[in-house]
């Protein structure tokens, strides 16, 4: 027996989907414009999660160059059938004529390699896949209603998939518009068969404050589906914005070997006002069945702070939970770049990296020289030691990234006369403001750069001379979460290097980047 603290995956791990194979659970989440995409986590007890790989991890599988922030890879579903893992997902935002939309990939080992995508002939988002016990396979997903009867209405469709050709066949059935009359964004659908009945679990209300989970039941996979009279079966929207966890929805169900049922789902933890810089995180909720319907968090009715898992051992520190601290070595699966592989510009170098400076800047929807990790804790110190022999016009350092339009940098910059300084800059809704600068030029040698977050205060510190880092500026974190900027993602902390469009052959050394949580979760 162990108690696990929610969230089970802190930081930007939205739209979780989970399946079980023997006594192993596998979980995937959305990653939008980040590369590699769709992390795969493994657990034997739902408590300790280790990342084993990524579904999208090599060039050529998918192309998301040019896709703006919070586009790219939306909600995936993972299932296992007959020795094969299946992930279905959507690549959102590709121009007409370019590959995009819903796709399926498979693997025999969840750590990879995963196949190249096969595109599916249905539009919309949030695809899921259901293997019936008669051998038939059913794809389902959501999209704006073709003939809406209220604004924001979506429709959940289901259609058979030929698992050999991986093509959709037969007719499509529209099975759901949401439990509540006038519901917007009925989405994130998943079908299950339990005791001979078909169940549809779906989110509605939009993936923000009004998010909710509802369930419906049918005798046939194609419906008609009848909603549970208890719908929505889990939401926090009636509890107000002062709740510790808001926006609860997008659930997926799994049954453990001992017969117990569980749901994983997303939620957000606001702090310092209604701002959730850690993004949409993954939570765990116990489920029981009563009168043929699932009851989420029985007796509690909301996401518990802690969940007792009878078959779990004591939680082990794991990278996935962000409970490891210290240097994040180049081999760590926590590292991500943007839209393309980091091997294009980064070479592992001891505990850190050598970065080839790129003309691309953080403001462009391409692959700048950027490597980052999720901010998983409200209070954290991220520290990098950077050696940057920059040419005029170039810059390299730390970045607190929300998106192309909104980020804060603490960088060594080289002026047109070659003088290097340490400068803090806030780009907010595409407008750049210098928020601090050290008066003395930066030396040739190592410069320590620190982002120290305490709630919504992001202090930026630097030590050009190896001494104690001094304050350069404080940025306002409430401008950096998705309530302020739009989109779906949490904040990333990373290193970057750019020549701001000029041809360059400069190389920058990041001796290491360390991540030290100061509080394991937002205080309550």
**Pairwise CA distance, residues 175 & 214, whole Å:** 14
Q: Binding to ligand 6LW (CB under 6 A): which residues in 60-79?
A: 74-75
Nearest approach in angstroms of CB 488 to ligand 6LW is 5
Which of 250, 401, 407, 428 is in the footprint of ligand 6LW by CB under 6 A? 250
Q: Is 488 exposed, middle or buried (0-12, 13-18, 19+ CB in 10 A)?
A: buried
125 binds ligand 6LW (CB under 6 A): yes
264 binds ligand 6LW (CB under 6 A): no
- The first and second tokens of residue 84, run together, are 């094969």
Stretch that binds ligand 6LW, among 49-57, 180-188, 223-231, 233-241 (CB under 6 A): 180-188
Query: What's the maximum distance between 2 C-alpha atoms anywhere in the chain?
Result: 76
282 binds ligand 6LW (CB under 6 A): no
Nearest approach in angstroms of CB 165 to ligand 6LW is 26
Q: Count of residues binding ligand 6LW (CB under 6 A)?
A: 14
206 binds ligand 6LW (CB under 6 A): yes
Nearest approach in angstroms of CB 12 to ligand 6LW is 10
Task: Specify whether 187 is catalytic.
Answer: yes
166 binds ligand 6LW (CB under 6 A): no
CB contact at 8 A, 279 and 10: no
Query: Is the Cβ of residue 44 or residue 207 nearer to ligand 6LW in the bound state?
Result: 207
CB contact at 8 A, 176 and 202: yes
**Pairwise CA distance, residues 155 & 148, whole Å:** 9
Stretch that binds ligand 6LW, among 182-190, 236-244, 333-341, 380-388 (CB under 6 A): 182-190
Q: Binding to ligand 6LW (CB under 6 A): which residues in 461-520?
A: 488
Query: Is the Cβ of residue 125 or residue 493 nearer to ligand 6LW in the bound state?
Result: 125
Query: Is the Cβ of residue 77 or residue 521 nearer to ligand 6LW in the bound state?
Result: 77
Give, as one character, the DSSP assignment of residue 483: H
30 binds ligand 6LW (CB under 6 A): yes
CB contact at 8 A, 336 and 11: no
Query: Is the Cβ of residue 234 or residue 412 nearer to ligand 6LW in the bound state?
Result: 234
* Count of residues making up the chain: 524
185 binds ligand 6LW (CB under 6 A): yes
**Pairwise CA distance, residues 367 & 72, whole Å:** 13
**Pairwise CA distance, residues 496 & 275, whole Å:** 25
Measured CA distances, 336 to 49, 244, 340, 346 (Å): 19, 28, 9, 11
Check 45, 160, 187, 381 and give the catalytic one.
187
H/E element holding 356? strand 352-356
39 binds ligand 6LW (CB under 6 A): no
**Pairwise CA distance, residues 111 & 318, whole Å:** 17
Strand ranges for 65-112 from DSSP E: 72-73, 77-81, 84-92, 101-107
Residue matched to tokens 């009925």: 186
Stretch that binds ligand 6LW, among 4-12, 184-192, 281-289, 411-419 (CB under 6 A): 184-192
207 binds ligand 6LW (CB under 6 A): yes
Residue closest to 334 by CA, chosen among 345, 344, 323, 349: 323
Check 15, 244, 394, 481 and give the catalytic one.
15
Nearest approach in angstroms of CB 141 to ligand 6LW is 10
222 binds ligand 6LW (CB under 6 A): no
- The first and second tokens of residue 30, run together, are 């959305």
Task: Specify whether 15 is catalytic.
Answer: yes
Query: Is the Cβ of residue 33 or residue 379 nearer to ligand 6LW in the bound state?
Result: 33
Nearest approach in angstroms of CB 63 to ligand 6LW is 19
Which of 45, 57, 187, 252 is in the footprint of ligand 6LW by CB under 6 A? 187
278 binds ligand 6LW (CB under 6 A): no
Query: Is the Cβ of residue 280 or residue 423 nearer to ligand 6LW in the bound state?
Result: 280
Query: Is the Cβ of residue 228 or residue 482 nearer to ligand 6LW in the bound state?
Result: 482
Nearest approach in angstroms of CB 75 to ligand 6LW is 4
Q: Binding to ligand 6LW (CB under 6 A): which residues in 41-60?
A: none
Rg, Å, the chain Cα set? 23
Non-local CB neighbours of 81 within 8 Å, separated by 6+ positions: 131, 137
Query: Is the Cβ of residue 30 or residue 375 nearer to ligand 6LW in the bound state?
Result: 30
Measured CA distances, 347 to 46, 161, 203, 369, 504 (Å): 35, 42, 42, 11, 17
Nearest approach in angstroms of CB 196 to ligand 6LW is 29
Nearest approach in angstroms of CB 187 to ligand 6LW is 4
- C-alpha torsion angle, residues 361, 367, 368, 369 (rounded to 10): 180
Q: Binding to ligand 6LW (CB under 6 A): which residues in 370-429?
A: none
Q: How many CA atoms lie within 13 A of 266 on its CB side?
A: 33
- The first and second tokens of residue 111, run together, are 């750590």
Give, as one character, the DSSP assignment of residue 342: G
Nearest approach in angstroms of CB 92 to ligand 6LW is 8
CB contact at 8 A, 393 and 500: yes
Give, as one character, the DSSP assignment of residue 237: G
**Pairwise CA distance, residues 311 & 1, whole Å:** 5
Stretch that binds ligand 6LW, among 20-28, 61-69, 185-193, 431-439 (CB under 6 A): 185-193
126 binds ligand 6LW (CB under 6 A): yes
Q: Is 340 helix (H, G, I), strand (E, B) or coil?
A: coil
Give, as one character, the DSSP assignment of residue 294: E
Which of 39, 72, 93, 188 is in the footprint of ligand 6LW by CB under 6 A? 188
Binding site for ligand 6LW (CB under 6 A): 14-15, 30, 74-75, 125-126, 185, 187-188, 206-207, 250, 488
Catalytic residues: 15, 187
């Amino acid at each position: 027996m162990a108690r696990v603290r929610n969230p089970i995956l802190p930081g930007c791990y939205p739209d979780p989907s989970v399946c079980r194979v023997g006594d192993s659970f596998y979980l995937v989440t959305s990653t939008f414009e980040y590369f590699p995409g769709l992390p795969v986590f493994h657990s034997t007890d739902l408590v300790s999660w280790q990342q084993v790989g990524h579904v999208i991890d090599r060039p050529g599988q998918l192309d998301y160059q040019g896709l703006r922030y919070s586009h790219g890879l939306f909600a995936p579903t993972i299932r296992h059938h007959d020795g094969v893992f299946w992930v279905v997902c959507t690549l959102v935002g590709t121009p007409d004529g370019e590959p995009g939309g819903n796709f399926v990939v498979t693997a025999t080992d969840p750590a990879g390699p995963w196949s190249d995508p096969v595109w599916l002939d249905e539009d919309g988002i949030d695809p899921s896949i259901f293997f019936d016990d008669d051998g038939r396979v059913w794809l389902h997903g959501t999209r704006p209603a073709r003939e809406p009867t209220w604004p924001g209405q979506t429709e959940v469709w289901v259609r058979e998939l030929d698992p050999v050709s991986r093509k959709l066949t037969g007719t499509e059935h529209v099975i759901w518009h949401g439990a509540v009359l006038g519901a917007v964004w009925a989405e994130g659908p998943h079908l299950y068969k339990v005791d001979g009945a078909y169940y549809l679990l779906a989110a509605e209300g939009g993936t923000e404050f009004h998010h909710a989970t509802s369930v419906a039941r049918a005798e046939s996979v194609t419906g008609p589906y009848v909603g549970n009279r208890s719908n929505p079966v889990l939401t926090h929207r009636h509890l107000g914005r002062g709740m510790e966890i808001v926006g609860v929805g997008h659930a997926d169900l799994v049954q453990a070997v001992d017969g117990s049922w569980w749901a994983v789902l997303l939620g957000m933890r606001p702090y310092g006002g209604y701002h959730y810089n850690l993004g949409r995180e993954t939570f765990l909720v116990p489920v029981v069945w009563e009168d043929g319907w699932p009851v989420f968090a029985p007796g509690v009715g909301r996401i518990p702070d802690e969940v007792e898992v009878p078959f779990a051992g004591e939680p082990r520190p794991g990278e996935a939970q962000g409970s490891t601290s210290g240097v994040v070595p180049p081999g760590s699966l926590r590292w991500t770049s943007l839209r393309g592989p980091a091997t294009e510009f980064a070479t592992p170098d001891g505990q850190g990296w050598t970065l080839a400076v790129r003309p691309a800047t953080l403001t462009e929807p391409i692959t700048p020289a950027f490597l980052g990790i999720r901010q998983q804790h409200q209070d954290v110190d991220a520290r990098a030691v950077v050696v940057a022999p920059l040419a005029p016009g170039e810059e390299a350092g730390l970045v607190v990234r929300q998106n192309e339009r909104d980020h804060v940098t603490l960088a060594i910059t080289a002026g047109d006369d070659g003088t290097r300084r340490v400068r803090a800059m806030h780009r907010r809704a595409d407008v750049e403001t210098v928020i601090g600068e050290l008066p003395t030029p930066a030396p040739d040698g190592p410069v320590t750069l620190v982002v120290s977050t305490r709630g919504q205060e992001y202090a930026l510190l630097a030590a050009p001379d190896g001494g104690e880092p001094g304050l350069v500026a404080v940025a306002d974190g409430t401008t950096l979460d998705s309530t302020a900027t739009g989109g779906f993602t949490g904040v990333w902390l990373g290193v970057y290097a750019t020549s701001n469009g000029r041809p360059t052959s400069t190389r920058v050394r990041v001796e290491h980047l360390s991540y030290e949580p100061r509080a394991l979760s937002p205080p309550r």
